[in-house]
Amino acid sequence: MPTLALTDFNIVVSVLGGWVSLFGLVSYLCKEKFYLSEALISLLAGVAFSPSAANLIRPLEYAGSQANLDAATLYFSRLVLGVQLVLAGVQLPSRYLQHHWRPLTWLLLPIMTIMWLSTSLLIWGLVTPRLPFLHALVIGSCATPTDPILSNVIVKGRFADQNVPLELQRIIIAESGANDGLGYPFLFLALYLVQYIGFDATPEFPVPGGGAGKAIGLWFGETLGYTILLSIVYGAVVGYIAKELLHWAEERKFVDRESFLVFAISLALFIVGTCGLIGSDDVLACFIAGNVFTWDDWFRLETKDDSLQPTIDMLLNVTIFMWYGAVCPWSSFLHGPVPLPRLIALGILMLLLRRLPWIMAIHKYIPQIQDWRQGIFVGFFGPVGVSAIFYLYITLDFLEKLSPPELVDGTDNPARLRPDVATLGETTTSVVWFLSIVSIVVHGLSVPLGKLGFYLPRTLSRALPSSPSSASLGNSDGVLTGRRPRHGPSLPAFRIGSRVNTLSIQPTGDGDTSPGAQQPDMMSSDEQVQQDGSGADTSLDKKVSASSSPPSGGLGSRQIYRIGGSIIRENPADSSGSSTPNRRPVYEGTEGSGNESGNNYSNSPSPRLPALSASPPPPPSRTIRFPDDPPQA
């Protein structure tokens, strides 16, 4: 008899496949219409499926222990960062790091250093007195790099195409890709200092000798020399060799289209694995390899219009943030070592002071940031996400090594930690996870909330009825009547839609030139706004048309002036009875015209155009007249 096989594999695959399919049905609506990031939506989905809610995804049960779960989260984050950074390097144009090394140096050296120190000071000030400053430096280094995955919300899609200049998009991609790998020096400088000078040695917990000199020596030798420089060289070499091999295979038609498109992703997997084997910085090596791989712009242009890389990017983003929503230690925010009000204050201050003031201070030295508005934009969008979680679990792995495997009495108890770092891992976990969640939510909602704040006042002003305070600016029918003085009648009605169509001068026809034509009366201010059967305002049209047409038999009460000061008069009817004026101009002021106005046109050698109707010379103050000018008195 068939039975339900409620295995973990079946449940996880069903939930993941079902969610990706459902999200795909409304993905365009969410990302391109509402400007919601897939990271935020996937994080909320992971929370809904986590043990705290529906209990469909149970990460701790799958891993078996907290240590295995931490290791799985670390490796998953490494994989996603490696693929994303290779793709980020491929997106940049040819020789981008070489051409724009000056603004990148500003962003990667002084800005990252100040971000590290400012974040550490905020953490130290809000978590004191239980947290030493060296421990704050460790936590602050995890939150220093900007996340390349969350940065995609402002460098890709419809919002970026319409609002972010292309050069600004590229500098954001380059900075977020490079500073992920450059987070290692800040983290390990703080960790080495904690290891060698952060605790007074005791017989039970001896501290390795060397002090601060030993810590600085390890930092220069292992971190800067082996981890950073080796990863840069290794990434450049692997990227260059891969580019040449792909060129060679493509020229000889050895590679098919599918393998060609997936080559960058397979290159990322290779670099992550091999850098992990030698213990180097795989994150930085992936970014360098991606940029060198498209150094000649060939691969980037060949895959520019292809959708495979964005598809893999989307699948990784959805999966990693669903996993984060399921494994996030939500209980540590309420019952952890740092009270929730302090965490909230830290999150707000981190958004305001971690990056924004320092970008504004140097934005003039970065050509891609053209004004202070773009400086605010770049300074605010420095998200904390996958890279912070990655460095968090590297920190936890390092802290476990501070437990001496053998105590002085010969007993083996590796679970015991040094007293100074006994709570550092728990504090780091709580703070870094909270800062990451705040950044995902705030930066994921910033664009839609900004758009809503821009359009909401305009929408409400159109939808809501007129308020009493606006009665002086219009009537109940939406016609603007102008600003009314405190005492006295309102100004004449004014309709924007009929401004051009109604204020026109029409020549009088035969029916309007009869001696008995009736003059329209001037309307009072109360009669200026009248509605016909369809609700359209026609009184202004009638008034302007009537007042603009001169009455028969003379000039009437309204005179029409030409540019230059002369009055436009009617021509006598020709033999056919038509009184339509001839508007073709006659140019005077040529030789023999007797021009006395001192105009430079009087010496023009061009011949005089023949006049189309007999009329006396124009007034001495004018050089151009029309043949319909009436005889001057």
Please indicate, yes or no, whether the overall pTM of this predicted structure exceeds 0.75.
no
Q: How far is residue 379's CA from residue 145's CA, in Å, rounded to a whole number? A: 13
Cβ atoms within 10 A of the Cβ of 410, count? 6
pLDDT band at 160 (very low <50, low <70, confident <90, very high): confident
**Structure confidence at residue 497 as a pLDDT band (50, 70, 90):** very low
CA 535 – CA 614 distance, rounded (Å): 49
The closest of 179, 528, 550 to 384, measured between CA atoms, is 179
Residue closest to 184 by CA, chosen among 250, 101, 275 = 275
Tens-digit pLDDT profile for residues 567-582: 666 554 444 444 444 4
pLDDT digits (tens, 9 = 90+) for 168-216: 999 999 999 999 889 999 999 999 999 888 776 666 666 666 788 899 9
Residue 213 corresponds to which tokens in the numbers above? 């000199």
Question: Cβ distance 345 to 105 under 8 Å?
Answer: no
Q: Any idea how long the chain is?
A: 633
- Give Cα separations from 360 to 102, 365, 379 (angstroms): 17, 10, 7
Q: What is the mean pLDDT of residues 366-389?
A: 93
Q: What pLDDT does 553 receive?
A: 43
Instruction: Give CA 23 to chain center in angstroms.
Output: 22
Please state, in angstroms and rounded to a whole number, the distance separating the CA atoms of residues 484 and 547: 24
Res 78 pLDDT > 90: yes
Confidence grade of residue 588 (pLDDT, cut at 50, 70, 90) = very low
Split at pLDDT 50, 70, 90, the class of 126 is: very high
The verdict on domain 60-314+324-407+417-460 having CATH code 1.20.1530.20 is yes
Domain ranges, ordered by start, for the chain: 60-314+324-407+417-460
pLDDT band of 158, cuts 50, 70, 90: confident
pLDDT of res. 80: 95
Give the mean pLDDT of the chain.
Answer: 78
Residue 43 pLDDT more than 50?
A: yes
Matching residue, tokens 């002086």 = 472
Q: Which helix (H) or strand (E) holds 586?
A: strand 586-587
Per-residue pLDDT at 596 exceeds 80: no
- Residue 392 CB neighbours (<10 A): 25
> What's the pLDDT band for 542 if we cut at 50, 70, 90?
very low
Rounded to the nearest 10°, the torsion over CA 89, 94, 98, 101 is -60
> Tokens 């740092």 sit at which residue?
338
pLDDT at 304 over 80: yes
Identify the pLDDT of residue 631. Answer: 59
Structure-token pair, residue 414: 């590796």
The end-to-end CA distance of the chain, in Å, is: 117
Average pLDDT on 131-145 reads 94
- Comparing C-alpha atoms, which of 244, 429, 238 is closest to residue 333? 429
Tokens representing 152?
């995609």
Beta bridge partners of 612: none
Structure confidence by residue, pLDDT tens digits, 397-455: 999 888 655 443 444 444 467 788 888 999 999 999 999 999 999 999 988 888 787 76
Least confident of 284-293, 598-607, 614-623: 598-607
Q: How far apart are CA 350 and CA 439, in angstroms?
A: 9
